[in-house]
C-alpha cells in the first residue's frame, strides 16, 4: 500500500507544481502585454509629436510662401511700372484723380442797374437846349449773378473739399460745386486759413455721398524735373482741363494778388511750368502715381508757364487741425 501512497503523493505534488508553472506563464504573458502596450503608447506619442512638428513646419512654410508671393507680386508691379512710359502713367494718374475735381462757382446778389441819359447841367436854362447828355446808372432792385469761379477737389467721402481761400473769400457770396458727373451741389465754407491761401468747404446735405476722394501724397520728396499735371476749371468755363509740366523750383517765395488787389505772401511754394490758368486756382497738382502733391494757387501774368502751388503737406496739416476742432476765432 505504501508504494501507492507515495505514488499518489507524487502525483498530487506534481499537480501542484503544474499549477504553479501555469500561473508563472500567465504572469509572463501579462508582463509581455503591458510592455507591448507601453511601446505602442510611446510610438503613438512619438507620432503625435512628429505630426505637431510637421504642422508647425507647414504653417511656417505657408507663411514663407505668402511672403514670397507678396515679394514676387511687388517685384512684378515694379517691373510693370518701370516698363510703362511716363505718358501712360500720367494718363492713368489723371483718370484716377479727375472724378474728385469740382468747379466752384460763386454767385451774389448785385444791384440791377438801369442807364439813363441826363443833362449834366440839370435844370440850368442856359444849357437846357445844348443837347448834352451823360449816362447815369440807377438801381432797380438786385439780381443774383456769377461773381467768380475756381476749382477744388474732394478729400473725404462725406464731401469735404480743399480749395484756395481767394476762391471762396467773399462771406456774402453763395457757392456751388459742379461735380464731375455734371450735378450741382451747394457748398458751405468751413474754414479760411489766415496764413496760407487755403480754404475748406463741404457739400451741404448728403446728396451724392459717398464721394470719390483724391489720394494725398507727400510734397517733401519732390525733385526738380519731376513730371506733374494740374487739373482745373480753366477760365471758369472749361472744367477738368489738364495741363502738364515739371517741377521747376522748390521752396519759392512769392507775393500774389487776388482780383480785389489784396496781396498775399506765400513761402515754401512749388514752382511749375504746367499752365495754371485763371479758374485753375484750388485745383490739384498731381504726380505720376495719381497723388495730390500741391494745390494750384497763382501764376505770373505776362509770363510763359510760371505757376505756383501750395505743398499738400500744409493742406494736410490744416485738415488735421480742422477735424480735431482746433478753430481760431475769425478764421471760419
Active site residues: 166, 197, 281
**Locate cell 526738380: which residue?**
224
DSSP for 38-55, please give it.
HHHHHHHHHHHHHHHHHH
**Locate cell 446778389: which residue?**
109
Tell me the H-state helices in 84-129.
Answer: 86-97
DSSP for 144-182, please give it.
EEEEEEEEEEE-STT-EEEE-GGGG--TTSEEEEE-TTS
What are the CB-based long-range contacts (under 8 Å, 24+) for 86-95? 86/227, 86/288, 89/288, 89/289, 90/227, 90/229, 90/244, 90/288, 92/290, 93/229, 93/286, 93/287, 93/288, 93/289, 93/290, 93/291, 94/229, 94/231, 94/242, 94/286, 94/290
Contact residues for 53 (Cβ-Cβ < 8 A; gap 6+): none
Amino acid at each position: 500500500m505504501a508504494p501507492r501512497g507515495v505514488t499518489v503523493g507524487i502525483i498530487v505534488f506534481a499537480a501542484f507544481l503544474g499549477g504553479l508553472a501555469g500561473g508563472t506563464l500567465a504572469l509572463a504573458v501579462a508582463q509581455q502585454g503591458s510592455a507591448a502596450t507601453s511601446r505602442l503608447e510611446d510610438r503613438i506619442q512619438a507620432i503625435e509629436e512628429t505630426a505637431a512638428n510637421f504642422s508647425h513646419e507647414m504653417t511656417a512654410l505657408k507663411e514663407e510662401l505668402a511672403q514670397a508671393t507678396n515679394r514676387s507680386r511687388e517685384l512684378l508691379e515694379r517691373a510693370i511700372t518701370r516698363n510703362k512710359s511716363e505718358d501712360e502713367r500720367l494718363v492713368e494718374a489723371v483718370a484716377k484723380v479727375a472724378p474728385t475735381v469740382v468747379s466752384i462757382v460763386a454767385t451774389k446778389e448785385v444791384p440791377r442797374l438801369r442807364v439813363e441819359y441826363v443833362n449834366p447841367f440839370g435844370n440850368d436854362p442856359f444849357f437846357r437846349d445844348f443837347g448834352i447828355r451823360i449816362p447815369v446808372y440807377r438801381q432797380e432792385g438786385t439780381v443774383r449773378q456769377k461773381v467768380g469761379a475756381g476749382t477744388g477737389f474732394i478729400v473725404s467721402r462725406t464731401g469735404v473739399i480743399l480749395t484756395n481761400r481767394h476762391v471762396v473769400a467773399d462771406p456774402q457770396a453763395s457757392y456751388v460745386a459742379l461735380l464731375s458727373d455734371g450735378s450741382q451741389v451747394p457748398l458751405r465754407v468751413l474754414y479760411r486759413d489766415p496764413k496760407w491761401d487755403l480754404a475748406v468747404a463741404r457739400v451741404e446735405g448728403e446728396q451724392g455721398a459717398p464721394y470719390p476722394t483724391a489720394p494725398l501724397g507727400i510734397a517733401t520728396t519732390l525733385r526738380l524735373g519731376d513730371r506733374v499735371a494740374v487739373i482745373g476749371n480753366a477760365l471758369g468755363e472749361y472744367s477738368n482741363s489738364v495741363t502738364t509740366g515739371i517741377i521747376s523750383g522748390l521752396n519759392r517765395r512769392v507775393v500774389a494778388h487776388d482780383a480785389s488787389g489784396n496781396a498775399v505772401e506765400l513761402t515754401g511754394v512749388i514752382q511749375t511750368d504746367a499752365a495754371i490758368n485763371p479758374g485753375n486756382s484750388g485745383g490739384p497738382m498731381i504726380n505720376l502715381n495719381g497723388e495730390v502733391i500741391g494745390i494750384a494757387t497763382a501764376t505770373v501774368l505776362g509770363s510763359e508757364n510760371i505757376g505756383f502751388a501750395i505743398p499738400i503737406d500744409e493742406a494736410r496739416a490744416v485738415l488735421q487741425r480742422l477735424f480735431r476742432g482746433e478753430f481760431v476765432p475769425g478764421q471760419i
